[in-house]
């Protein structure tokens, strides 16, 4: 079973975070989603409170979706289920839709919409941030994240411009989740380009923020998804926009999964 938290009641809504983060990334929007839905926020295997996949199973996106489906089945959640994901979590939601286990999907800055050679910049940036977080003592990280200008400086690229407005406790959690993400390197190395997406028939909404500097335009291939996909480009959003515009993120998810 994966670690999860839930709020609200009604039809289930699964929320999946990005690589190097945890379900805590959804905390700004959880109360808004919970007004209409039973929001289920998971720590993906190898991140947060969920251990890596057992038995030496590689953390490929298909294998992670298998494990997610196992957890949902154990919880008694009926499939297909509505899903929203950010970055790696968005890729997982798209894969779930391809398999028919997602009822609808909202993918925010999803990974995988690239060809193998076009993802180099994202890999370099995220690996550099991971190594930096691992090298910095946690006490130093906690001290730095207490100052809004430093939160903005350190988090504007991996999270979003405007991160200085994040609560210090959330910024510390983001930094510590990344530093403790021992499955980061293997998970990233197992992340291949998404294929088979044009066969998806369920409602899809894909959002890329105008300030997403992690995934450039070459990582946003529209031809990997069906023509009925709704593409939106909120100008203020970065790669992880939940703290910058929680109301906008919640509205997009509720509308896209309604």
Q: For residue 68, what is the domain's CATH number? A: 3.40.50.1820
* pLDDT, tens only, 178-223: 888 989 989 988 999 999 999 999 999 999 999 999 999 999 999 9
User: How many domains does the structure of the chain reveal?
Assistant: 1
Q: Which domain holds residue 67?
A: 4-256
> Whole-model pTM?
0.95
Number of CB atoms found within 10 A of residue 74's CB: 10
Determine the pLDDT at residue 136.
Answer: 75
The CA–CA distances, whole Å, from 117 to 113, 123, 124, 166 equal: 12, 11, 12, 34
CB environment 216-242: b (16+ within 10 A), e (fewer): eeebbbeebbeeebeeeebeebbbbbb
Structure tokens at 68: 């997610």
Could you tell me what percent of the chain has a pLDDT over 90?
81
The CA–CA distances, whole Å, from 198 to 94, 126, 135, 237 equal: 11, 28, 41, 26
* Contacts of residue 31, Cβ cutoff 8 Å, sequence gap at least 6: 7
């Amino acid at each position: 079973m994966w670690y999860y938290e839930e709020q609200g009641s009604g039809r289930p809504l699964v929320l999946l975070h990005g690589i190097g983060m945890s379900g805590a990334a959804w905390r700004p929007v959880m109360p808004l989603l919970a007004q209409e839905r039973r929001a289920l926020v998971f720590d993906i295997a190898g991140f947060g409170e969920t251990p890596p996949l057992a038995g030496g199973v590689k953390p490929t996106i298909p294998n992670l979706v298998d494990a997610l489906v196992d957890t949902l089945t154990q919880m008694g959640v009926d499939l297909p289920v509505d899903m929203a994901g950010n970055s790696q979590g968005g890729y997982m939601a798209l894969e779930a839709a391809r398999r028919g286990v997602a009822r609808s999907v909202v993918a925010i800055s999803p990974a995988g919409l690239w060809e193998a050679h076009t993802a180099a910049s994202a890999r370099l940036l995220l690996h550099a941030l991971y190594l930096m977080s691992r090298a910095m003592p946690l006490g130093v990280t906690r001290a730095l994240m207490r100052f809004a200008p430093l939160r903005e400086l350190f988090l504007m690229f991996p999270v979003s411009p405007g991160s200085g407005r994040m609560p210090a406790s959330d910024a510390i959690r983001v930094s510590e989740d990344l530093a403790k993400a021992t499955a980061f390197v293997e998970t990233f190395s197992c992340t291949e380009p998404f294929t088979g997406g044009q066969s998806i028939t369920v409602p899809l909404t894909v959002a890329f923020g105008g300030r997403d500097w992690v995934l450039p335009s070459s990582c946003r291939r529209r031809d990997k998804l069906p023509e009925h996909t709704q593409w939106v480009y909120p100008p203020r959003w970065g790669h992880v926009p939940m703290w910058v515009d929680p109301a906008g993120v919640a509205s997009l998810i509720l509308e896209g999964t309604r």
